[in-house]
Amino acid sequence: MFNPAIHKQRRTRLINLMRRGIAVIPTAPEAVRNGDAHYPYRYDSYFHYLTGFDEPEAVLVLVAGQGASGSPQAILFCREKNMEREIWDGYRHGPDAAKETFGFDAAFPVAQLDDQLTELMGNQPALFHPLGAHAVWDDRILALRARVQEKARSGITAPNEIHDVRMLLDEMRLIKDSEELATMRRAAAISTAAHIRAMRATHPGRMEYEIEAELLHEFRRCGAPAPAYTPIVAGGANACVLHYIGNNAVLKDGDLLLIDAACEVDGYAADITRTFPVNGKFNAAQKDVYEVVLAAQAAAIAAVRPGARWNEPHDAALRVLAQGMIGLGLCRGSLDSVLESEGYKRFYMHRTGHWLGMDVHDVGAYKQDDNWRVLQPGMTLTVEPGCYIRPADDVPQAFWNIGIRIEDDVVITAEGCEVLTEAAPKTVAAIEALMNRGSC
Ligand code: GLY
Ligand code: MN
Ligand code: MN
């Protein structure tokens, strides 16, 4: 839910972290798909975090303590009102309404950006910018700084420090406030409903893309504008391709279906994977592998608590997975030797999670001073162990082409953690009960 006061507080926090200097934070450019068709527009996450402003061609400028007026300033540059364009493309706030609605100290047409920035940068000691995010912006900002340098003989200096503003913003974004968590709960609820819909709709003979359509239908029906990432709907052997997005194969009786799909709501992502039998009943080999992955996930979730380090859930999942692989005959040797030799990596080659937030792989450092980061309340992450078994002579044939991942979204609380995506069934019994209860 849009609340301008929250974005204003974030701007003030960033200004305090900068202490001095000027920040220039553009939103994302529009992107042409082909011909006159554009990709659906998605604002830049940093820009939106600080503004709540959805329109393209907008730039936020923050001037910390030592601005010309001596007081901090938050300035928006945005498109002007334009009745002709608004007839074709829809409403534009324009600077005046944007200033009022979003609570900026000032707002100007984006066409004035270069001239105004040349003024605003003068005598600022430091420049904060998402360095390297967009080459076009790097070049433009450096060219403007050069314009300020040309004023040296008038006694005006250009910023002689350039910082990546993301270093400050990543840390802010890493800890979610209660509004952000409320939004993430909504994204999680819609996404879990979509997984339930997909399970109910799955039968032998249906196409992967038909199930993808069920997911997308539920996202849009519930008001989510888009998936948070391209859905993976992978039947049978396709589940062993980690980033499979073809979604165009027929679903076969006796295969599993792995779905990694979730929506974005008000700029925040969910990220859920469920794996279930196409015909509604796990066979013995599928169930054996599934129970190992589910137990690994339970062990990882039990390790998500304040004070634990980032690697602890991953290490907990690895121990259970490796032990399970030994039990299934996929790996040979003792648990310690399989962990030491990384023999499990043939079947589990990714890590057990990532930060989650405005970006599905969200920002924030995983290590600090070369140590895995300590988890704190308000951090949100995924827990997503898996097991992917490709055919091979030394692998029992019953397990060939089984690909399983179970992924939930978790927020760290004062006591431990809350699983935001619990409502999507994941025990064998719950999945089989749901799939055998009815169809759509
Ligand atoms: N859906 C992307 C991931 O699980 O990381
Ligand atoms: Mn994930
Ligand atoms: Mn995922």
Show the domains of the chain with their CATH numbers.
Answer: 4-173 (3.40.350.10), 175-435 (3.90.230.10)
Please give the distance, rounded to the nearest whole angstrom, from the Cα atom of residue 382 to the centre of ligand 1: 8
User: What does the pLDDT read at residue 69?
Assistant: 60
d(CA 140, CA 127): 13
pLDDT value of position 438: 55
Which helix (H) or strand (E) segment holds residue 286: the answer is helix 284-302
Token pair listed for 344: 């499990």
Note the pLDDT of residue 225.
96
Total Cβ atoms within 10 A of residue 96: 11
Number of other residues whose CB lies within 10 A of the CB of residue 82: 12
Alpha-carbon span 294 to 405, nearest angstrom: 9
pTM of the model: 0.96
Q: What is the pLDDT of residue 67?
A: 47
Q: Using a 6 Å cutoff on CB, does residue 260 contact ligand 1?
A: yes
- CA 160 from chain centre, in angstroms, equals 34
Mean pLDDT by 10 residues, the chain (440 residues): 93 96 97 96 98 98 74 91 97 98 97 97 96 94 95 93 97 97 98 98 98 98 98 98 98 98 98 98 98 98 98 98 98 98 98 98 97 98 98 97 98 97 98 81
Residue 70: the pLDDT is 63
Long-range CB pairs of 412-419 (<8 Å, 24+ gap) are 412/304, 412/305, 412/306, 412/375, 412/376, 412/377, 412/378, 412/379, 412/380, 412/381, 413/306, 413/377, 414/306, 414/377, 415/305, 416/304, 416/305, 416/306, 417/301, 417/304, 417/305, 419/301
As a whole number of angstroms, the distance between CA 405 and CA 388 comes to 8
Residue 138: per-residue pLDDT? 96
Concerning whether 274 is annotated as a catalytic residue, the answer is: no
Return the pLDDT at 152: 87
Ligand nearest to the CA of 229: 1
Residue 167 CA to ligand 2 center (angstroms) comes to: 23
Does any ligand 1 atom lie closer than 6 A to the CB of residue 409? no
What is the structure's pLDDT at 1?
Answer: 75
